[in-house]
Structure 1
């Protein structure tokens, strides 16, 4: 089977202090060289793009698994921390939090905890990064809905603009 091609278009404006754009079917983002490296810093830098790929892969893998197992999920959110050492070596730590409906059972919670671990193992980007020596750690949390909208609270606490 032939894998579908992913086509992207890139444009760069000016010199190193300029910025660029990457666009594909479902992606459009601004890129820039970081300020410490002489750039404008007015766009995503390579490490952010790399880490965002790992985030997207883990998120979609987990969402797919939760759906396939018909888990009573109201939603989930995740913090991811990426660090880059002096030598330029990245490390990634995901902290997903899955919220289940109020009628979820202990078995549901246990299953979701297992799925978080499995999603880490099945995420192709995460596995590729691990093979390249990048530490990717995942520590998840599962909670049961308590009448409080924890997802909206998360968005508000983090000042996210969706």
Structure 2
């Protein structure tokens, strides 16, 4: 079974113009970012690729933790995307996910180690990471801690 996702776009001119995109609940302005010589209006392909990879990763990790019955107090994520510019050619080089996973109080070291293993496995299990494979290096650098017991 295939799932179809559709996006419509509108653009108002040349390279330094801006436009809009709509896809489901996503509705935003777009342009080239200021650091790359554009107007910096709305979002851009670089942020959207990072957003796709990051949301896919965190949702995949959450599902894997749930399936493994690992109780989570909180799960947050910071991700960095690195774009190289050589000879005026822009290349998306890498994405690094840094999840902070706080496990519910009372879980032992074995559960923490399993959660860390899942945090690495989620990176290669995400469909966006698989789509980028061979083009963009994607890695995970998780921090896993167990919450303190309440007295």
- Structure 1 residue 117 corresponds to structure 2 residue 120: yes
> 1:23 — aligned with what?
22
Task: Report 1:71-82 matches (<5 A).
Answer: 71-82=70-81
> 1:127 — aligned with what?
130
**Cα deviation 1:101-129 (Å, max 9, x = unaligned):** 11222121111011111101201111221
> 2:34 — aligned with what?
35
What runs of 5+ residues in structure 2 fail to find an aligned partner? none
More strand by share: 2
> 1:96 — aligned with what?
99
| Aligned residue among 134, 137, 141 for 1:139 | 141
Cα displacement (A) at 1:37: 4.7
Instruction: State the alpha-carbon separation in 1 of the partners of residues 116 and 35 from structure 2.
Output: 40
What runs of 5+ residues in structure 1 fail to find an aligned partner? 149-162
Normalised to the residue count of structure 1, the TM-score between the two structures is: 0.81
Cα displacement (A) at 1:71: 0.8
